[in-house]
Amino acid sequence: MVKLTSFTTGALTAVGLLVDTVASAGGDKGVPTLEDKWGTDWPFSGVNTFAHLPTDKCLIHPDTEFDIALIGIPFDTAVSYRPGARFGPRAIRAASARQSSLRGFNARAGINPYQDWAKVIDCDDIPVTPVDNKLALRQITEGYNELLSRPIHYKKDGKPNLPPRLITLGGDHSIVLGALRSLHKVYGPITVIHFDAHLDTWLPSKYPSSWESDPGAGDFTHGTMFWMASQEGLLSNDTCLHAGLRTRLSGKDWGDYEEDTKQGFARIASDDIMEKGVKGIVAEILERVPTTVPVYISVDIDVIDPGMAPGTGTPEAGGWQTRELIQIIRGLESLNLVGADVVEVSPAFDHAEITALAGAQVAYELITNMVIKGTPVDVLPVSAPVHNDL
């Protein structure tokens, strides 16, 4: 049986029923209940879920309600350099062990996202094939569709039931395409705020193995998925942006940037932080992204300098500090965040969980942003719930 928290107190095994009933009755008389005695974990105890949150294999239990869920997508066969991000979700979960509802108050934000209006759970993983990327993309998309079609836990009389929000733990970056296909069906064009050292809007022809005789076969990679999303009309064409860029470009001109601009992205370079500072970066993002549009924040952990995030697939020297990234995310809490991810954590290249710890912290900050903005009933667009399309 799944670990219980304040959200679920009634799920009992047949054997446990009598004991729990007695203990609960005892609790009324001042005797500790089983929940009182055993209901909280030390950071190092318990089955490993994100932040010790309650977990369920949500994909096969349609009655499980939640407002915000972590969902792992352990997929890494679309990488162009180091593989290994399929182990990212379990590494991030392990590194989140010192987070919990008990000690979850975010002092930077002034709330505990695990003890607020939202029911936050860990929905386990979408099992994705490592041997057929076409099928994998379908599995990612259908898994995301399934979870997005679930009713939220938070209820308000007379208000429509809105879709829950998901924070994906990758996996390589290509998984975002499935999420965007799914989110687009609910919200229309999505504004992506993309934290990354790289553009990920690359034309497939810019990769070595692109063969003209087999068009489309190699298009889907962790560096082309935003190009694909753009081709499919999933992105807002005047509000998306990259932040933290320091990639080398193809050839000997600005062609990659020009292509990127065509796809609707603005660019903030990693180096910009030296002149503009964190506040300047935040201001630049908020100037471009209105608070009313549906926003997806995608965090490739390689946006952080390899000195602080070595465990990733395509490291680039000269990145932001973890502290700076956290502060920038904190500065975006006014935005209407409908989904997010932390991707490209590849634990085989990590040391002492540095990268996974950063990933877990970033996920916590993203959850905080979703909670602090308010209930979806209050903040999401009225046009949002079109579950039947999924």
Segment near Mn ion (CB under 5 A), from 7-15, 80-88, 190-198, 259-267?
190-198
The closest alpha carbon to 181, from 145, 216, 152, 149, belongs to: 145
Q: Letter for the amino acid at 273? A: I
**Residue for token digits 């003890």?**
115
**Closest to Mn ion by CB, 59 or 358:** 358
Site map 297..336 versus Mn ion, x via CB under 5 A: ---x------------------------------------
- Window of 54-62, 163-171, 194-202, 369-377 that interacts with Mn ion by CB under 5 A: 194-202
**Cα separation, 160 vs 182, whole angstroms:** 19
CB of 199 to Mn ion, least distance (A): 8
Closer to Mn ion by Cβ: residue 200 or 324: 200
Instruction: For residue 208, give every residue at least 6 positions away whose Cβ sits within 8 Å of its Cβ, in sequence order, or none.
Output: none
Part in contact with Mn ion (CB under 5 A); list of ranges 13-21, 37-45, 171-179, 273-281: 171-179
Of 378, 385, 371, whose CA–CA distance to 120 is shortest?
Answer: 371
By beta-carbon proximity to Mn ion, the closer residue of 196 and 350 is 196
Amino acid occupying residue 119: K
76 makes contact with Mn ion (CB under 5 A): no
Binding residues: 173, 196, 198, 200, 300, 302
Q: With H, G, I as helix, E, B as strand and everything else as coil, classify residue 124.
A: strand
Q: What are phi and psi of 300, to 5 degrees?
A: -80, 120
**Binding Mn ion by CB under 5 A: which of 67, 122, 200, 324?**
200
- Is residue 228 within 8 Å of 220, Cβ to Cβ? yes
Tokens 């082309």 locate to 224
CA distances from 297 to 164, 341, 359 (A): 16, 7, 13
Q: Which helix (H) or strand (E) holds 386?
A: none
Cβ nearer to Mn ion, comparing 66 with 226: 226
Q: Give the residue with the Cβ less far from Mn ion, 200 or 316.
A: 200
- The interface mask with Mn ion, positions 264-303, x = CB under 5 A, is ------------------------------------x---
In the complex, the smallest distance separating the C-beta of residue 229 from Mn ion, rounded to whole angstroms, is 13
Annotated binding site for Mn(2+), which residues? Answer: 173, 196, 198, 200, 300, 302
Q: How far is the CB of 225 from Mn ion (least distance, A)?
A: 9
Provide the edge-to-edge strand list for the sheet that holds 120-125. Answer: 120-125, 68-73, 165-170, 336-343, 294-300, 191-195, 240-245, 265-269
Residues 86, 119, 173, 185: which binds Mn ion (CB under 5 A)? 173
Stretch that binds Mn ion, among 22-30, 100-108, 198-206, 333-341 (CB under 5 A): 198-206
Amino acid at 61: H
Which residues contact Mn ion by CB under 5 A? 173, 196, 200, 300
